[in-house]
A and B are shown apart, each in its own frame.
Chain A
C-alpha cells in the first residue's frame, strides 16, 4: 500500500510561465499533503502543509501567491509554480499521508528547470 504518483518527473519552462505539478495517492486517501523543495546537494525543506478541508499552511519564507497548492481531493494535490524564475529551479517532492499513517510517504519528485 501507500503508492504515490508524481508527475511530471522533469519539466523545463521559460521564465515568467507557470508550471503545475501533480501528486496522486493511488491506494489511499491523503488527509495531509506535504510539499518539499530540495536544491542540489541540500536537504528537503518543507514548503507547505495542506490538511483535509483546510487551506495550505506555508513555511516562513515561502510565498503563498507564488506556490499555489490545491488539495481539493483526498487523492490529488497540485503545486503550481507561478511566474517561474531561474531561482525556482529545484527538485519538488510531495508527501501525501493518511490519517492513521505510521510514517511518511513520498513521491518520486519533479525536477523543475526554469530557463
Chain B
C-alpha cells in the first residue's frame, strides 16, 4: 500500500518568514495530493491540493509543488503569521474520494510561528 513520509516533524519560524514542509510517497499510481491544517481538538481542514497533471499550484500565501518523477511534493507558506501555527499533514491517494479510495496521511509537522 501507499506510504507517505513527511519532514520535518517540527518547524519553528519567525513571523514573516517562509515555511517549507516536504513529503514523499511510494505508490506511483497516486495522483491526488492534499494538504491539511489541523488545530488542536479539531478535524483536518483542507488548505490546498494538487493533482498529478499539475506541477505547481498557488493560493495566496500557500503553494504546493509536485515532482512525480521523484515522488515528492512540498508545501510552501510565505509571510507566515501566528495563526498559521498548527499541525500540517500531507496526504496521497490514487484518486479523489469518490471511488472510495483511501487517503494515506503523512506523519505531520507541528509548525510554530513565533513573534
Shortest distance in angstroms between B93's beta carbon and chain A's nearest beta carbon?
Answer: 8
Q: Is the interface of B mostly helix, strand, loop or mixed?
A: mixed
Shortest distance in angstroms between B45's beta carbon and chain A's nearest beta carbon?
Answer: 8
Contact A103 B41 (CB under 8 A): no
Q: Is the interface of A mostly helix, strand, loop or mixed?
A: loop
Contact B105 A43 (CB under 8 A): yes
* Residues of chain B at the chain A interface (Cβ within 8 Å): 32, 34, 36, 41-46, 49, 89, 93, 96-100, 102-108
Cα–Cα distance between A97 and B46 once the two chains are bound (Å): 14
Contact of A97 among B36, B98, B108 (CB under 8 A): B98
A32: chain B residues within 8 A (beta carbon): 97-100
Contact B103 A34 (CB under 8 A): yes
Q: Among residues 70 to 115 in chain A, which have CB atoms less than 8 Å away from a CB atom of chain B?
A: 91, 93, 95, 97-109, 111
Contact B96 A101 (CB under 8 A): yes
15 interchain pairs, CB-CB under 8 A: A41-B108, A42-B107, A43-B89, A43-B107, A46-B104, A91-B41, A93-B44, A97-B97, A100-B98, A104-B34, A104-B96, A106-B43, A106-B44, A106-B45, A111-B41
A49: chain B residues within 8 A (beta carbon): 100, 102
Cα–Cα distance between A49 and B97 once the two chains are bound (Å): 11
Contact A101 B98 (CB under 8 A): yes
Cα–Cα distance between A12 and B75 once the two chains are bound (Å): 37
B41: chain A residues within 8 A (beta carbon): 91, 109, 111
Cα–Cα distance between A46 and B104 once the two chains are bound (Å): 8
Contact A104 B43 (CB under 8 A): no
A102: chain B residues within 8 A (beta carbon): 96, 98
Contact B100 A51 (CB under 8 A): yes
B32: chain A residues within 8 A (beta carbon): 103
Contact A104 B97 (CB under 8 A): yes
Cα–Cα distance between A108 and B100 once the two chains are bound (Å): 20
Cα–Cα distance between A102 and B49 once the two chains are bound (Å): 10
CB of A25 within 8 Å of the partner chain: no
Cα–Cα distance between A6 and B44 once the two chains are bound (Å): 13
Contact of A46 among B36, B102, B106 (CB under 8 A): B102
A109: chain B residues within 8 A (beta carbon): 41-43
